[in-house]
Amino acid sequence: GQQVMQIPQYQHVQEGEDFTTYCNSSTTLSNIQWYKQRPGGHPVFLIQLVKSGEVKKQKRLTFQFGEAKKNSSLHITATQTTDVGTYFCAGSRNYGQNFVFGPGTRLSVLP
Amino acid sequence: NAGVTQTPKFRVLKTGQSMTLLCAQDMNHEYMYWYRQDPGMGLRLIHYSVGEGTTAKGEVPDGYNVSRLKKQNFLLGLESAAPSQTSVYFCASTAYQETQYFGPGTRLLVL
């Protein structure tokens, strides 16, 4: 079956440093979503990528979908303590099918 | 709008007991999902529904049953709880392949 992997599992950064998490799928995806979950909270949608090579930005967050549509990345510039949480990617093989979530990357930001 | 609500928030069961988790959404979404979240494993899909009166199995359906008698409600039942079902359960709803809105979660402990 479809597998979605994320690296790293954990990342500790000093406030102001950059952070990147990578998402890799065992199969080609039709679309990919990113979610953020704060400690003790529930996943909150960040963005959806659909096109090969697509790049989207949200303030300090940059999301990229690979050319082969099998990988994606989330980059945070100049992290803040409010960025603390676990970031999940979720991929769908075909539009209309369910999403498979990666295991997440837990980000800690030291003030 | 309340979005997605889940009841109860926390429950302790003894092995062999049964219970029902309730998910309700007020966004008129067709799609609803039940996930379980375990440390280091992300979110795994248990069952889902693409509309009132329909249900389907996800990645980890064994030991669970679901019903979608009304469009706004999605029930998850545990017939005979086992310690392996100790987890955090999240319900989510979405319009077709769009943002998944998650509920606050139900923490279940099976002794």
Comparing CB atoms, the residue among B33, B97, B102 nearest residue A31 is B97
Strand, coil or helix: B78: strand
**Contact (Cβ atoms closer than 8 angstroms) between residue B69 and residue B51:** no
User: pLDDT tens digit string along B2-61?
Assistant: 799 999 999 999 999 999 999 999 999 999 999 999 987 789 999 999 999 999 999 999
Contact B98 A95 (CB under 8 A): no
Residue A97: the pLDDT is 74
The position carrying tokens 């945070």 is A76
Q: Show the tokens assigned to A13.
A: 């950064």
Compute the 3-state secondary structure of chain B and give helix, strand, coil in percent, each to the nearest 5: 5, 50, 45
Contact B59 A33 (CB under 8 A): no
Average per-residue pLDDT for chain A: 95
User: How near does any CA of chain A get to the CA of B90, in Å?
Assistant: 8
* Separation CA B4–CA A73 (nearest Å): 28
Find which of B48, B100, B101 to mutate to test the A interface (most A CBs within 10 Å of its CB). Answer: B100
